[in-house]
Amino acid sequence: MKPFTFQTSPNILFEPGAAGKIAETVASFGASQVMLVTDRGVRGAGLTRTAEEALAKAGLTLSVFEDVVADPPSEVVERAAAQARETGAELVLSIGGGSALDTAKLVAYLAVNDEGLDGIYGVGLAKGKRLPLVLVPTTAGTGSEVTPIAIVTTPTTEKKGVVAPRLLPDWAILDPELTLGLPAHVTAATGIDAMVHAIEAYTSRHRKNPMSDQLARQALALLSSHIRTACRDGANLEARSAMLLGSMLAGMAFANAPVAAVHALAYPIGAIFHVPHGLSNALVLMGVMRFNLEAAEAEAAYAELAPILDPSAAGLPRAEAASRFVESLAAICRDCGVPARLSEVGVKEADLPRLAEDAMKQTRLLVNNPREVTYADAFSIYSEALDGKLRRAE
């Protein structure tokens, strides 16, 4: 067996109503000055209220940063870190989607380190101490609460990652009740993101391992069997719980067996056109998977996963089972009302070269893909995703 390493968050609480225990967990660190990192949508929806009130009641001082926006720009992260330093934050708590959680990870690090963001982009460069960190997800998507990753949009609209074990939080608190009010289109996009994490972890070229495989399979089973219900009937706690658990398990899988070309091609769409991360993934998912089918390893992996989505695929010849898998995913996207074309989110034919150029910069991710992706391949995949027409790069 190939040797492997596996890391995740050391402490996890998963419970409907767990938001009521955030203050207790925070107080256990003995901090008196706490920074809450969130966004206006989440705070406006009242999702931070229970924790804010309980923290105040426990005598802790709270400084709130609610200016996080989707695909957080570096400037926002730096402003949040400055606020943490100015207020003398002793612990960082984040309640929100992946954007808030990622910002909080970097705030906890930058608040007590002199190096700037530019010095820590990449893998394993953030080695210093950080403030205690408690993360509470309100989307069932990124799995950020269990990953050592924070994704930032640079001033040149590039999405860069800081990847370091130091960014794993002390506590991940998962309360499915916080996700009951997620609008259907966000539920669909973030749920697809989580499914892509599981699929790309399962096909990851270098660090795929027995633990990430099990987690990816379990995540995919939970997500694929509950995503339609969660989109149709948002108040269904059982479906919401399965989605939140599935996204966490997928996060654990891809944190150790990293994602690949779907994410590499999705990032420029998010960075340039401000398309939500999950939707960006969904828009290139089919194209990348059909491209990957040409690689024997990917075909075998997709065939192995196929019965999880479609039990009748069990026992089919490999190629047939693998295409059944891709078709089943396409059906989920359709049933959940996810847009299928890049043209529907404002991308034009003239944008294709820039998208393909930017995707090629995501070398950290592309190396994990089961099939090598060239500029010409990326161009063709974007082109088909645009409007169904295949164009070749000049």
Ligand X SMILES: NC(=O)c1ccc[n+]([C@@H]2O[C@H](COP(=O)([O-])OP(=O)(O)OC[C@H]3O[C@@H](n4cnc5c(N)ncnc54)[C@H](O)[C@@H]3O)[C@@H](O)[C@H]2O)c1
Interaction site with ligand X (CB under 6 A) = 39, 41-42, 45, 47, 70-71, 96-100, 102, 138-139, 141-144, 147, 149-151, 178-179, 181-182, 186, 190, 193, 277-278
CB of 158 or CB of 349, closer to ligand X? 158
Query: By CB under 5 A, what part of segment 42-81 binds Fe ion?
Result: none
- Label each residue of 108-161 as H, E or C: HHHCCCCCCHHHCCEECCCCCCCCCEEEEECCCCCCHHHCCEEEEECCCCCEEE
Distance CA 90, CA 342 (A): 44
Distance CA 384, CA 81 (A): 41
Q: Which does 128 bind (CB under 5 to 8 A by kind): ligand X, Fe ion, none?
A: none
Write the CA distances from 206 to 146, 257, 370, integer angstroms.
Answer: 20, 7, 9
Nearest residue to 348 (alpha-carbon basis) of 282, 278, 269: 269
Q: State the minimum distance, in angstroms, from the CB of residue 121 to ligand X.
A: 14
Check binding of 145 to Fe ion (CB under 5 A). Answer: no
Distance CA 93, CA 377 (A): 42
Check binding of 193 to Fe ion (CB under 5 A). Answer: yes
Count of CA atoms in the C-beta half-sphere (13 A) of 215: 27
Q: Which does 100 bind (CB under 5 to 8 A by kind): ligand X, Fe ion, none?
A: ligand X
Q: Which of these segments, 6-14, 193-201, 289-297, 373-381, binds Fe ion (CB under 5 A)?
A: 193-201
Q: Which does 241 bind (CB under 5 to 8 A by kind): ligand X, Fe ion, none?
A: none
Q: Give how many residues touch Fe ion by CB under 5 A.
A: 1
CB of 84 or CB of 178, closer to ligand X? 178
Written as six digits, the tokens of 289 are 């998977």
Query: By CB under 5 A, what part of segment 332-351 binds Fe ion?
Result: none
Write the CA distances from 32 to 20, 48, 301, integer angstroms.
Answer: 19, 18, 49
CB-based contact 136:244 (threshold 8 Å): no
Q: State the minimum distance, in angstroms, from the CB of residue 143 to ligand X.
A: 6
Q: State the minimum distance, in angstroms, from the CB of residue 179 to ligand X.
A: 5
CB of 31 or CB of 104, closer to ligand X? 104
Q: Which does 138 bind (CB under 5 to 8 A by kind): ligand X, Fe ion, none?
A: ligand X
Nearest residue to 153 (alpha-carbon basis) of 145, 164, 165, 161: 161
Contact residues toward Fe ion (CB under 5 A) are 193
